């Protein structure tokens, strides 16, 4: 990797002229495709983040505490300077239940201001952890809410103004599991045994062991690493002891998309996406997960076998820009599953998983969002500008168009949404459930049914943005304020670091 860096810098000078001509003011950096298929030794047991400790106070509130702090980690490249929550890298998994009152106290032990955003959580705007409410170094922030959403795989990560990519890349991220009832109870649910978080991140390493940036002058998407970590483990294997195993796939990379499949081409059941369980299992042999998205899959194993979870090229036919500069042609070995000689039997996957009530599109308020040039509708993010005023309990139809030569995706805070159409057609099964993040290839047009419920706050905004962290940091983000009828927007202004 390092030997190629002078060549990349030279090529960047030439290609930067192209980027400047396209209005990006950045650099396109030539990078060879990455291929680790068959080259990963799988020598390290998969680390499983611990479940976060909690207490229940006299008011019935479950309380968690997170401490964001610097640390040192060993991924096999020497001493790596990292950031983590309650540890050196990543954070504990928070497990909560429907109907539970929750409070999280976040102490900032970092040298920089930060926030904690509860990605996918339905909660008041003031608890959402957006960039308008920074926690200064040495300070503490609090988020409190009642869990009012079905079983789902969510996550948490920083969301400071302009510094999100850097802080996530250093290691600040963790999973949140919302437990529900009904058919979901029959799915594998023994954490760390047959129910596993699989937090996938790509990294580059410098000669001194620290995280590096393989495209040092910046890429069109952001950082694209050549080494994968899963739950902070390089080259991981998982000992499987049951006939079915549930993998909660989380793409916590800062820019890369993955197309997950197995080395033998086996099929698996997709049972859940961002906002919760699908109505029924979807049998498939691959699932694409872009930055910020989640996918819950159930994999059947036979005694004694081994199989590798891989990422295939997510967009191999996307042209030179997509393949070379955006990682569309890259392939990775991700995680090896090793089945024990004898496996405990698992309950079969239920044919019906959840009731997914459809939002009614009739009379929905239309809105259009154009994604291009790291801006939305031609505007960069401004903390004192409200881009959308939505009325609580009113359904809206958001049409998102990627009018750009590069991939983007779209994440909305504060609520889940449903995909009404993708490029004029009914959404495919992986987009049939509740979502909060969707991928858009160049030219894609996606229609979302959006409805904000429960919380109205004329003083505090939710965010919507491209979830490629570099693009978000560069201003590809807007603000939506949710009001009740008759309320007037009055944003509270904060002092920013």
Describe the strand order of the beta sheet including 117-119 as a list of residue ranges: 94-97, 174-179, 152-157, 117-119
Where residue 217 falls among pLDDT bands split at 50, 70, 90?
Answer: very low
Task: Say which range, 184-188, 393-397, 468-472, has the weakest mean pLDDT.
Answer: 184-188
Taking residues 190-210, report their average pLDDT.
97
Q: What is the pLDDT of residue 497?
A: 37
How many percent of the chain have pLDDT more than 90? 84
pLDDT in tens, 236-290: 999 999 999 999 999 999 999 999 999 999 999 999 999 999 999 999 999 999 9
pLDDT in tens, 303-330: 999 999 999 998 766 555 555 557 778 9
Q: What is the pLDDT of residue 327?
A: 79
Q: What is the pLDDT of residue 406?
A: 87
SS3 call for 137: coil
Beta strand 117-119 with 152-157: parallel, antiparallel or unpaired? antiparallel
Contact 74, 80 (CB under 8 A): yes
Label residue 136 exposed, middle or buried (CB < 10 Å: 0-12, 13-18, 19+): middle
Q: What is the pLDDT of residue 315?
A: 73
Between 447 and 18, whose confidence is greater? Answer: 447
What's the number of CA atoms in the CB half-sphere (13 Å) around residue 366?
Answer: 5
Q: How many residues can be counted in the chain?
A: 497
Please give the structure tokens belonging to residue 33. Answer: 């495709």
Helices (H), 318-438: 319-320
Alpha-carbon distance of 460 to 491, in angstroms, equals 6
Alpha-carbon distance of 84 to 69, in angstroms, equals 6
Q: What is the pLDDT of residue 493?
A: 58
* Torsion-angle region of 99 (φ positive above 0: left; ψ -120 to 50: alpha; else: beta): left
Where residue 414 falls among pLDDT bands split at 50, 70, 90?
Answer: very high
pLDDT for 97 beyond 90: yes
pLDDT for 78 beyond 50: yes
Task: Say which range, 13-22, 324-333, 463-472, has the weakest mean pLDDT.
Answer: 13-22
pLDDT for 94 beyond 70: yes
Mean pLDDT, the chain, rounded, equals 91
Handedness of CA 312, 318, 319, 323 (dihedral sign): negative
SS3 call for 307: strand
Alpha-carbon distance of 233 to 313, in angstroms, equals 22
Compute the C-alpha angle 472/207/236, nearest 5°: 70
């Amino acid at each position: 990797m390092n030997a190629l860096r002078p060549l990349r810098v030279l090529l960047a000078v030439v290609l930067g002229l192209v980027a400047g001509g396209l209005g990006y003011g950045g650099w396109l950096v030539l990078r060879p495709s990455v291929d680790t298929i068959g080259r990963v030794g799988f020598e390290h047991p998969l680390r499983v983040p611990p479940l976060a400790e909690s207490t229940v106070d006299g008011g019935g509130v479950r309380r968690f505490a997170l401490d964001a702090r610097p640390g040192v980690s060993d991924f096999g490249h020497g001493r790596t300077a990292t950031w983590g929550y309650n540890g050196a890298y990543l954070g504990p998994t928070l497990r909560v239940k429907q109907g539970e009152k929750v409070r999280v106290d976040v102490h900032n032990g970092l040298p920089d201001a930060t926030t904690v955003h509860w990605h996918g959580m339905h909660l008041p705007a003031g608890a959402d952890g957006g960039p308008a409410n920074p926690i200064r170094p040495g300070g503490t922030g609090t988020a409190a809410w009642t869990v009012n959403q079905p079983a789902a795989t969510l996550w948490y990560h920083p969301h400071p103004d302009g510094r999100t990519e850097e802080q996530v890349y250093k290691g600040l991220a963790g999973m949140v599991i919302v437990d529900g009832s009904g058919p979901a109870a029959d799915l594998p649910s023994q954490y760390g045994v047959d129910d596993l978080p699989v937090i996938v991140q790509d990294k580059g390493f410098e000669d001194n062991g620290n995280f590096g940036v393989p495209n040092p002058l910046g890429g069109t998407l952001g950082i694209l690493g050549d080494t994968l970590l899963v739950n902070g483990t390089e080259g991981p294997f998982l000992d499987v002891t049951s006939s079915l195993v549930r993998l909660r796939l989380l793409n916590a990379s800062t820019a890369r998309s993955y197309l997950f499949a197995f080395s033998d081409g086996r099929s698996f059941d997709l049972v859940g996406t961002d906002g919760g369980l699908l109505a029924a299992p979807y049998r498939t042999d691959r699932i694409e997960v872009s930055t910020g998205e989640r996918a819950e899959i159930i994999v059947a194993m036979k005694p004694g076998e081994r199989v590798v979870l891989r990422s295939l090229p997510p967009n191999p036919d996307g042209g030179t820009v997509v393949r070379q500069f955006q990682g569309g042609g890259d392939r990775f070995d991700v995680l090896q599953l090793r089945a024990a000689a004898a496996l405990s039997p698992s309950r079969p996957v239920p044919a019906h998983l959840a009731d997914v009530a459809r939002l009614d599109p009739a009379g929905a308020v239309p809105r259009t969002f154009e994604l291009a040039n790291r801006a939305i509708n031609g505007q960069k993010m401004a903390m004192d500008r409200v881009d959308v005023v939505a009325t609580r309990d009113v359904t809206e139809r958001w049409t998102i168009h990627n009018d750009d030569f590069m991939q983007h995706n779209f994440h909305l805070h504060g609520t889940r949404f449903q995909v009404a159409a993708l490029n004029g057609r009914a959404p495919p099964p992986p987009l049939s459930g509740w979502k909060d993040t969707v991928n858009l290839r160049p030219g894609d047009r996606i229609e979302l049914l959006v409805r904000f419920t429960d919380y109205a706050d004329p003083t505090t905004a939710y965010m919507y943005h491209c979830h490629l962290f570099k693009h978000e940091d560069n201003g590809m983000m807007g603000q939506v304020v949710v009001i009740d009828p008759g309320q007037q927007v009055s944003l509270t202004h904060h002092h920013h670091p």
